[in-house]
Amino acid sequence: MVITSRAPVRVDFAGAWTDVNIFARGAGGAVVNATIDKYVHGRLEVFETPDTGIAPDEGIRVTYWCDLPSGSGLGTSAALNVCWLSLIQSQVNPDLKQKERIADLAYKLEEILGILGGKQDQYAAAVGGFSYLTFHEEVEVERLPIAPGMLAELEQRLVLCYTGKSRLSSNIHEEVWDAFRRGVPATVNALYDLRNCAVRMRTVIKKEDVEEFGELIGQSWRHQKALAESVTNEQIENLFDIASRAGARHGKACGAGGGGCLLFFAEPGRKASVSEALERAGVRVIPFRFEFEGLQVSMGDRQSEAGNPASAAGS
């Protein structure tokens, strides 16, 4: 028997950092994000050796591979945990609430391992699509319907690139949350401002206002940089300058920042020029489309399964 699973990664538009319990349990956090057609894939095979006259041996083989490098700032680690838990469960009820339970378990697993981070990645990977997530003691998921015209324009204007530098978000988290606990005004104010950007972006998506959507991406980046010096660096600032000269109107680092992926919002008709300028600067531009399925699990027999995880690992 073969069980296959895939969970998408996400791009975060506004509110990142406010999904961490240190802030969310007291102040309440909010995030707007969306999943894209890049995935963590998993495959679980249950097998037994041929009967040789003694009891056959049974075993389980689990394989994972990802469309993107780890440390990309797109939630690959959380997506892997969502994928792994779905395989262990062996079959996932397609009901949304069942997917949310998988997301919660994935976060609790990271918490047990002592990983300091938020909850947006796990829920995005599980439920898929555009989401407005609010965080207190529990997580509330609001699926955001997006008009076809706005969806098409966002895909025509957003540019995602990988800096080539994997970042350790735990190091940045420690710096930010140490400042928050000490009550550093710039850090505290930035967290509230980030949350407010997410609250506003929810409304902007419902209004189908693409231009303000882009402006909120830019505002989020300004507030994110105010959290701590390590959120940005010379390479990131240089890439922002290059993208801006080529036609990017706004942009932000994905996830915690410090490396990984950057997301740019280009002027109308300038996506290609922004992409080309970034590629000339030596970074990898990642073509993508939004996806709306979230976690997907399927079951079958080994003979009917096609595909080779080893070959897919390099995709």
Task: Give the pLDDT confidence of 237-257 residue by residue, as tens digits.
Answer: 999 999 999 999 999 999 988
Q: What is the pLDDT of residues 201-223, one digit of tens each?
A: 999 999 999 999 999 999 999 99
Task: Report pLDDT for 179.
Answer: 94
Q: What is the pLDDT of residues 156-198, one digit of tens each?
A: 999 999 998 876 566 788 899 999 999 999 999 999 999 999 9
Percent of the chain with pLDDT over 70: 89
Catalytic residue among 12, 57, 121, 301: 121
Span 269-286, mean pLDDT? Answer: 97
Q: What is the pLDDT of residues 38-80, one digit of tens each?
A: 999 999 988 776 666 665 667 788 899 999 987 889 999 999 9
Q: How many CB atoms lie within 10 A of CB 229?
A: 11
Task: Report pLDDT for 92.
Answer: 46
Q: Coil, strand or helix: which one is 203?
A: helix
Task: Report pLDDT for 305.
Answer: 44
* Cβ 188 vs Cβ 6: under 8 Å: no
Q: Please indicate whether residue 310 or residue 172 has the higher confidence score (pLDDT).
A: 172
- CATH at 84: 3.30.230.120
Count of domains for the chain: 1
Active site residue 37: no
| pLDDT category of residue 116 using cuts at 50, 70 and 90 | confident
Q: What is the largest CA-CA distance in the chain?
A: 73
Which residues lie below 8 Å from residue 59, measured CB to CB, with a gap of 6+? 46, 47, 48
Tell me what the pLDDT averaged over the chain comes to.
89
pLDDT at 139 over 90: yes
Query: Per DSSP, which regions of the chain are E strands?
Result: 2-14, 29-48, 58-66, 130-135, 139-143, 158-162, 248-253, 261-266, 284-285, 296-300
Domain limits for position 39: 2-312
Length of the chain: 315
| pLDDT category of residue 226 using cuts at 50, 70 and 90 | very high
Q: What is the pLDDT of residues 71-115, one digit of tens each?
A: 889 999 999 999 999 988 764 454 545 899 999 999 999 888 888
pLDDT at 31 over 80: yes
- Write down the pTM of the prediction: 0.89
